[in-house]
Amino acid sequence: MTGGVARASHLVRRMASESVDLGAPGSWGADVRQMLAEQASFWPLTRSLVQRDLRLRYRNAVLGFGWAVGMPLLHTLIFWMIFTRVVPFETDVPYPVYAYSGLLAWNLLASSLRFSVTSLSANPNLVTRVYFPREVLPFSAVIVACVDFAVASLVLAGMMVIYGVTPGWTLALVPLILAVQMSLTAGLALLVAMTNLFFADTKYILELLLTVGMFATSVVIPVDRAAGPLGSVLRLNPMTQILNAYRLVLRGELPDLVALGAAAAVSLTVLMVCWLAFHRAEFRFAEEA
């Protein structure tokens, strides 16, 4: 513990004396190497935090599975009643599969951000007294959300069997699409965790943005069919392209590689910019926690 505190103090003095900001491209490479090396060194800590959170989440199996599966199913039922009975429209796959697949991917993003936003502020003893890369906390929240995603995907598989949706070999592309989504999710998780430490209202603003974002993305309705300037803006949303890619491969078609490539470029940019900003601001976290 004493060595960790001394190392943290040394880091604070070094960062304060250098006054490095995000706009110094010459030091980016060194920072990236340091960040990756730290994540590799502290992987056992990340794994322990993930195991702790999973034990808490799934200690009561009914509640745990209810969290991962029940909410997407409930939302699917609600939107199915609205968009097949009240305001019907056509989708390329049966609407329950369309809605559930969208909600499944969206909940991965939303759950990651909801748990990440307080990951620093809820652990002041760790943040202020022990040296470790603080990214471990939001990253572990994202990994826990991935486990929920995997559990809830079993229900999607059952739905596809019931409705006769056959994916074929394109299902092998799901890990690639998931990697794109995880890049975007991890970057945003770092951003909201860091921002909430400095501005306590962030977690409330996040809930508003997630609510609006679900309807500004092709989660339950195909917003990419919208015409005019609004449609053009909505198509810039990388999550819309990610959701479209998921749905295409689930029905056995290749995704739009140009759109997916653009979403991947945006996601990687978000991850690197947010990670660098997080890394450069890390020496101030102990003051704010």
**Residues 99, 222: Cα–Cα separation, whole Å:** 10
* The predicted structure's pLDDT at residue 12: 36
Residue with tokens 């392209």: 241
Closest CA to 247 of 167, 169, 186: 167
Rg of the chain over CA atoms, in angstroms? 20
* The predicted structure's pLDDT at residue 161: 92
Q: Tokens at residue 273, please?
A: 């910019």
Closest CA to 179 of 99, 100, 135, 242: 242
**In contact, 266 and 237? CB cutoff 8 Å:** no
**Residues 145, 103: Cα–Cα separation, whole Å:** 13
Q: Find all residues with CB under 8 Å of 268, minimum gap 6, and list them.
A: 183
* The predicted structure's pLDDT at residue 117: 95
Share in percent of the chain as helix, strand, coil (round to 5):
80, 0, 20
**Residues 4, 34: Cα–Cα separation, whole Å:** 17
**Residues 137, 116: Cα–Cα separation, whole Å:** 7
* The predicted structure's pLDDT at residue 222: 81
* The predicted structure's pLDDT at residue 135: 92
Q: Where are the domains of the chain?
A: 2-288
**Residues 153, 24: Cα–Cα separation, whole Å:** 42
**Residues 107, 143: Cα–Cα separation, whole Å:** 13
Buried b (16+ CB within 10 A) or exposed e, 251-286: beeebeeebbeebbebbeebbbebbbbbbbbbbebb
**Residues 264, 15: Cα–Cα separation, whole Å:** 32
Taking only the tens of pLDDT, the chain with its 289 residues reads: 444 334 434 433 443 333 334 545 546 677 788 888 888 888 988 899 898 888 877 776 555 566 667 777 777 777 777 776 666 677 788 888 998 999 999 999 999 999 999 999 888 888 877 788 889 999 999 999 999 899 889 889 999 999 998 888 999 999 999 999 999 999 999 999 999 988 888 999 999 999 988 888 888 888 776 666 777 777 788 999 999 999 999 989 999 999 999 999 999 999 999 999 998 888 788 666 6
What is this structure's pTM? Answer: 0.83
* The predicted structure's pLDDT at residue 1: 41
182 CB-contact burial (10 Å; exposed 0-12 / middle 13-18 / buried 19+): buried
Q: Which helix H or strand E contains 267, and what residues bound it?
A: helix 257-281
